[in-house]
Amino acid sequence: MELVEYRNLFDKFDLYSEQSVKVSPWYWLLPPLKLYLEKYRALKILKKFVDNEQEYRTLMSFSDKATAWYFVSVGGWFKTLSSIYEVLENNHVPYFGWSFIILALIATVSGFFSATYRLSQRRQHKILKKFQQY
């Protein structure tokens, strides 16, 4: 399924979500309860607009893929931290702690900017323009 189809389903979800009662931020004092209530709210919203089993499967598939890619990215981030640590340790860099923190922050911020740029409309228009030229 194309991301556009997912987008249409999530637009519907957003519409119904605005009409649904939000879970109080105070529940963050009990994080497991907050997560449970948010999940319950999301399922109630889904029941309102999902027309058939196929749409439900599509949304669950997207959710599962997003979760899997999240864990892949977290694993990559930990690998980045491990590599930074090894490079600094092997090269006997002075101010090891600060060097590690600065490089880890640079890598993290670079990753966020890269992902944000790759998902941006600006990049899509740029690529589309190049594609249309050929």
Residue 60's closest CA among 110, 111, 1?
A: 1
Looking at per-residue pLDDT, the higher value among 79 and 134 belongs to 79
Q: What is the torsional sign of CA 33, 38, 43, 44?
A: positive
Q: Which phi and psi angles does 119 have, rounded to 5°?
A: -95, 0
What is this structure's pTM?
Answer: 0.64
| Interval 13-68: pLDDT, tens | 888 888 888 999 999 999 999 999 999 998 888 888 888 888 788 878 888 888 99
Euclidean distance between CA atoms 41 and 33, whole angstroms: 12
Tokens of 126: 């740029």
Q: What is the pLDDT of residue 22?
A: 92
* H or E segment to which residue 57 belongs: helix 53-90
Asked if 88 contacts 98 with a C-beta cutoff of 8 angstroms, the reply is no
Comparing 6 with 97, which gets the higher pLDDT? 97
Q: Tell me the pLDDT of the chain averaged across its residues.
A: 88
3-state secondary structure of 19: helix
